Structure 1
Amino acid sequence: MDEIRVLQTARLKGRPRGADLAPATGLTADEVQVIVERHFAAGHLEPARDRVKLTAQGRARLDVLLADERERIDQEALMSAYHEFEAFNGEFKQLITDWQLIDGSQPNDHSDAEYDNRIVERLTDLHERFRPLLHQITGIASRLAVYPGRFASALHKVRCGDHSWMARPLADSYHTVWFELHEELIGLAGLSRAAEAAAGRAE
């Protein structure tokens, strides 16, 4: 499972820094380093300056691991949870739109603290209501057990005043973690992002 965690995180994040792999996988830095070095040697990962990159061989290896994981997951329970997730996903997408745009058209320059705080409170409310479903999801797919902590960490930073953790790219912001969880659910269910986007369910 540790192997799939590291390779999948490299895929989801594109070219993550080595330091970004530990918090996203739930492994220690030393554990990640051992796995990364092993996959460097196998040709599954390659260094890209201070970052790592999944190779074509690594993607093929990951596809095998993910297919095996799908076989061991209760697909009926997963699809039921995914359908529940869709409602939360629509709500979250609207929340992020409201964070980025005022009245759907004017870019939010974040000068209106009261406006931003209302959205932070909406995120907090969504987070609390989403927690039971997230717990259910991690019970179905144990590899995803790192997600509650990642969500909680991002929300804590937002609520402490660092609003960049709402939707900052290339960081474990709330939006980044949500996007990656959605990708995981799509993959575990054997669906495709293209099909989900066409159905209006992908971000």
Structure 2
Amino acid sequence: MSELVLLQAARLKGRLDAEAAAACAGMDPAAAQAGLDALVDAGDAKAVGGGVRITPQGRERLDALLAEERATVDQPALTGLYEEFDAFNGELKAIVTDWQMVDEQTPNAHTDRAYDQAVISRLADLHGRFAPLMARIAAAAPRLAPYPERFAAAIGKVREGDHAFVARPIADSYHTVWFELHEELIGLLGLSRAAEAAAGRAV
């Protein structure tokens, strides 16, 4: 399981270090680093800038592991959960858009505290309503068990005043974690991102 988790995290992150790997895999950083070292030794990842990147060989290995995992998941049950997720997905997209843009022409400079707080309140409300569904998704696909804690950590940072954790791409922000969960669900259901984007379900 850890091999699959780390390879998938490396694919999703682009460059994966031990700290990010630990959060994604729900393990301590030392164990995550050992796992990353094993991927490098096997040729499934290469060391770059304090982290690793997945190699073409690693992508082939990941595809095989994901196919094996997909066969163990209750597809009808997960499809139903994905349909529930899709309703929240549209709401999250609107929140992130409003966080980034005041209107269609005006980027949000984050100088209006009341405006930003209203968007954050909407995100916090979404999180409270989404958390039970996330728990059910993790029960249906056990590899996704770290996601509830990752979402909780992100919203916790936002509530503490670190607003980078709303949507900053290079952090484990709420939007980043959401995007990665969406990718996971697409893969587990054998769907494609291109088709989901065409259907308006991309984040």
Shorter-chain TM range is over 0.9
* Residue 19 (structure 1) shift: 2.5
- Structure 1 stretches of 4+ with a deviation exceeding 6 A read none
- Helix, strand or coil for the counterpart of 1:95? helix
1:113-132 counterparts in 2 under 5 A? 113-132=113-132
CA contact (8 A) 1:99 1:108 kept: yes
1:76 aligns with 2:79: no
* Residue 95 (structure 1) shift: 0.5
Residue number in structure 2 paired with 1:60: 60
Give deviations 1:87-124, integer Å, cap 9, x for gaps. Answer: 10000000000001113321100000000001111001
CA contact (8 A) 1:46 1:55 kept: yes
* Residue 24 (structure 1) shift: 1.8
- Helix, strand or coil for the counterpart of 2:73? coil
1:93 aligns with 2:80: no
1:157 aligns with 2:157: yes
Q: Which region of structure 1 is more displaced relative to structure 2, 19-28 or 165-174?
A: 19-28
TM-score when normalising by structure 1: 0.98
Give deviations 1:26-52, integer Å, cap 9, x for gaps. Answer: 111121122112111110010012121
CA root-mean-square deviation: 0.9
* Counterpart amino acid of residue 51 in structure 1: G
- Helix, strand or coil for the counterpart of 1:52? strand
* Residue 84 (structure 1) shift: 0.7
Q: For 2:30 and 2:165, how far apart are their aligned partners in 1?
A: 26
Percent of aligned pairs with the same residue?
A: 55
- Helix, strand or coil for the counterpart of 1:102? coil
Give deviations 1:123-178, integer Å, cap 9, x for gaps. Answer: 01000111111111001001101001000101011111110110011110000000
* Residue 16 (structure 1) shift: 2.1
In structure 1, stretches of 5+ residues that fail to align are: none
Aligned length: 203
* Counterpart amino acid of residue 151 in structure 1: F
Q: For 1:148 and 1:103, how far apart are their aligned partners in 2?
A: 31
TM-score when normalising by structure 2: 0.98
Q: For 1:194 and 1:137, how far apart are their aligned partners in 2?
A: 23
Residue number in structure 2 paired with 1:103: 103
Give deviations 1:45-67, integer Å, cap 9, x for gaps. Answer: 10012121000000000111100
